[in-house]
């Protein structure tokens, strides 16, 4: 058990800030976690449903159940992350996820598929996604946007590389080989680094957020002044206090609506493109390009958030994402799919990392795990519903046109809600 007593802060010569090691570990976690993300599951969808004769609704039903169970796990996991940190939670999570993927190679029945996917999806969304989202904000304040953006590159690189190697193994061998490779990657690239290097918060190692040194406060540089203001008046609200803030509900609804739309597109973009006659290999490349551009978009968004506030940047992101759904309906040939992927990737890049930042900016670090543990289950209900609703719409209507228009409208509503949200008074004074 990790001690909750802070180690005395070391003064004197400035030393390397361990928070950047945490950034790397979270980035590596995001890289392999992408194997259970919707863009990769979309590659598995057609080969698996084709082999067993299942519908797309049956396939996505497993992610629906698993994500809903993950929401229940998040309620218990959130407070423990504040108290004990994410080290062993992440280690156990990646061990289980790697096993579920590797065991998929042996499955032959629907109940086996559902058992493995429900467990894997529940751990991914209810444990790992929550754990990785609260780690970075606990280590950074003034540099929170850029740190979250850099860590988020891991998932973007994973979403770029993983679909390519999964599609490669599917093409030359089978989806079973691809699943085993993804599982082993998860153990090596994410489980081991989390066990060896993850730590709870900077104070446990005798450090301060951002690697600031209070002994240098007399040198009134701009960065020191910024940190001093944050550390002396940093917002630190409890869950009960947050529940009285109107901004909390506006943010929760805004991101929940976005979580209906974005995951649905991630799962269905490859089936949509191949339905238009685009080669599956080209569709996988489009997903990789989308993820690569999302990495660039997340970096830009992180720095813009530090300059113009997270709220304003999020308003723009949701507007651009909404327009992307209308653009996808105009994609009918390969080159259009590539151009659309570049646009949408850059648009969506900052959504997930700025969600981490805005809750920490508004409500502080101390109870962030518990606060996100309240929000995350609600978002996971919407996350699970979106892809399933899209599958039902396609199986019923034979087209994605209607549901993509609905998703675009939801994102525009999210943009309005973010615009209307205002931080607590202290956060407003510090912004």
Domains annotated for the chain, with CATH where assigned, are 19-206+235-430 (1.20.1250.20)
Residue 340: per-residue pLDDT: 94
What is the rounded distance in angstroms from the CA atom of residue 162 to the CA atom of residue 177? 13
Residue 1: per-residue pLDDT: 40
Tokens of 274: 């191949």
Residue 360: per-residue pLDDT: 87
Is pLDDT of 106 > 50? yes
What band does 10 get if pLDDT is binned at 50, 70 and 90?
A: very low
Q: 117 with 66: CB under 8 angstroms?
A: yes
Q: 137 with 216: CB under 8 angstroms?
A: no
**Of residues 113, 111, 110, 132, the one with CA closest to residue 123:** 132
Is pLDDT of 28 > 90? yes
With a pLDDT cut of 90, the percent of the chain lying above it is: 34
In sequence order, which residues have a C-beta less than 8 Å from that of residue 372 and are 6 or more positions away? 74, 78, 130, 133, 134, 359
What is the rounded distance in angstroms from the CA atom of residue 361 to the CA atom of residue 422? 11
Tokens of 76: 């218990």
Residue 214: per-residue pLDDT: 58
Residue 145: per-residue pLDDT: 84
What is the rounded distance in angstroms from the CA atom of residue 34 to the CA atom of residue 120? 12
* Reduced 3-state DSSP string for the chain: CCCCCCCCCCCCCCCCCCHHHHHHHHHHHHHHHHHHCHHHHHHHHHHHHHHHCCCHHHHHHHHHHHHHHHHHHHHHHHHHHHHHCCHHHHHHHHHHHHHHHHHHHHCCCHHHHHHHHHHHHHHHHHHHHHHHHHHHHHHCCCCHHHHHHHHHHHHHHHHHHHHHHHHHHHHHCCHHHHHHHHHHHHHHHHHHHHHHHCCCCHHHHCCCHHHCCHHHCCCCCHHHHHHHHHHHHCCCCCHHHHCCCHHHHHHHHHHHHHHHHHHHHHHHHHHHHHHCCCCHHHHHHHHHHHHHHHHHHHHHHHHHHHHHCHHHHHHHHHHHHHHHHHHHCCCCCHHHHHHHHHHHHHHHCCHHHHHHHHHHHHHCCCCHHHHHHHHHHHHHHHHHHHHHHHHHHHHHHCCCHHHHHHHHHHHHHHHHHHHHCCCCHHHHHHC
Report helix, strand and coil shares of the chain as percent, to nearest 5. 80, 0, 20
233 or 400, greater pLDDT: 400
- Between CA 189 and CA 198, with CA 192 as vertex, the angle to 5 degrees is 105
**Of residues 160, 80, 163, 83, the one with CA closest to residue 127:** 80
Q: What is the mean pLDDT of residues 73-78?
A: 85
- The pLDDT mean for the chain works out to 84
What is the rounded distance in angstroms from the CA atom of residue 392 to the CA atom of residue 404? 13
Taking each continuous run of H as one helix and of E as one strand, the counts in the chain are 19, 0
Residue 215: per-residue pLDDT: 58
373's enclosing H/E stretch is: helix 368-397
Q: What is the mean pLDDT of residues 66-93?
A: 88
Cα dihedral value 170, 175, 181, 185, nearest 10: 100
Phi, psi of 25 (to 5 degrees): -65, -45
Q: What are the tens digits of pLDDT across the range 142-175?
A: 888 889 889 888 888 887 788 888 888 888 878 9
Is pLDDT of 386 > 60? yes
Is pLDDT of 369 > 90? no
Tokens of 245: 């803030």
Q: What is the mean pLDDT of residues 31-50?
A: 83
Residue 6: per-residue pLDDT: 47
Q: What are the tens digits of pLDDT across the range 319-328?
A: 999 999 999 9
Is pLDDT of 225 > 50? no
CA atoms within 13 A on the CB side of 348: 31
Is pLDDT of 96 > 90? yes
Q: What is the mean pLDDT of residues 119-136?
A: 89
Tokens of 394: 């396609």
Residue 13: per-residue pLDDT: 52
Residue 226: per-residue pLDDT: 39
Is pLDDT of 193 > 90? yes
Say how many C-beta atoms besides its own lie within 10 A of residue 244's C-beta: 9
Residue 429: per-residue pLDDT: 41
386 or 228, greater pLDDT: 386
The separation between CA 191 and the C-alpha centre of its own chain, rounded to angstroms, equals 18
pTM score: 0.71
**Of residues 217, 161, 156, the one with CA closest to residue 353:** 156
What is the rounded distance in angstroms from the CA atom of residue 231 to the CA atom of residue 203? 12
Is pLDDT of 257 > 50? yes
What band does 14 get if pLDDT is binned at 50, 70 and 90?
A: low
């Amino acid at each position: 058990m990790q001690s909750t007593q802070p180690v005395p802060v070391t003064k004197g010569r400035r030393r390397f800030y361990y928070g950047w090691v945490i950034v790397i570990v979270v980035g590596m976690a995001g890289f392999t976690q992408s194997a259970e993300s919707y863009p990769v599951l979309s590659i598995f969808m057609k080969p698996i449903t084709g082999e067993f004769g299942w519908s797309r609704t049956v396939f996505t039903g497993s992610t629906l159940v698993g994500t809903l169970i993950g929401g229940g796990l998040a309620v218990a996991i959130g407070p423990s992350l504040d108290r004990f940190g994410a080290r062993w939670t992440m280690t156990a999570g990646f061990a289980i996820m790697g096993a579920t993927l590797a065991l998929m190679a042996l499955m032959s029945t629907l109940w086996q598929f559902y058992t493995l996917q429900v467990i894997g999806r529940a751990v991914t969304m209810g444990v790992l996604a929550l754990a990785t989202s609260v780690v970075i904000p606990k280590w950074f304040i003034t540099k929170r946007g850029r740190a979250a953006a850099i860590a988020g590159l891991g998932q973007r690189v994973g979403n770029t590389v993983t679909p390519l190697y999964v599609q490669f193994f599917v093409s030359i061998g089978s989806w079973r080989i691809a699943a085993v490779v993804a599982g082993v990657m998860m153990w090596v690239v994410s489980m081991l680094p989390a066990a060896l290097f993850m730590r709870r918060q900077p104070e446990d190692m005798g450090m301060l957020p951002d690697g600031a040194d209070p002994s240098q406060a007399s040198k009134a540089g701009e960065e020191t002044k910024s940190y001093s203001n944050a550390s002396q008046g940093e917002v630190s609200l409890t869950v009960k206090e947050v529940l009285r803030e109107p901004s909390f509900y506006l943010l929760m609804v805004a991101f929940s609506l976005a979580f209906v739309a974005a995951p649905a597109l991630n799962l269905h973009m490859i089936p949509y493109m191949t339905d238009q006659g685009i080669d599956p290999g080209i569709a996988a490349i489009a997903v990789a390009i989308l993820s690569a551009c999302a990495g660039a978009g997340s970096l830009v968004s992180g720095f813009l958030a530090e300059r113009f506030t997270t709220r304003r940047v999020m308003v723009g992101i949701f507007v651009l994402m909404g327009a992307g759904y209308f653009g996808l309906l105009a994609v009918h040939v390969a080159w259009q799919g590539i151009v659309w992927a570049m646009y949408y990737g850059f648009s969506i890049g900052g959504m997930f990392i700025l969600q981490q930042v805005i809750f920490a900016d508004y409500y502080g670090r101390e109870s962030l795990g518990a606060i996100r543990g309240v929000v995350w289950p609600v978002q996971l209900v919407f996350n699970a519903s979106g892809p399933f609703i899209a599958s039902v719409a396609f199986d019923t209507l034979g087209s994605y046109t209607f549901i993509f228009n609905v998703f675009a409208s939801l994102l525009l509503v999210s943009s309005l809600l973010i615009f209307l949200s205002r931080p607590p008074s202290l956060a407003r004074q510090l912004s």
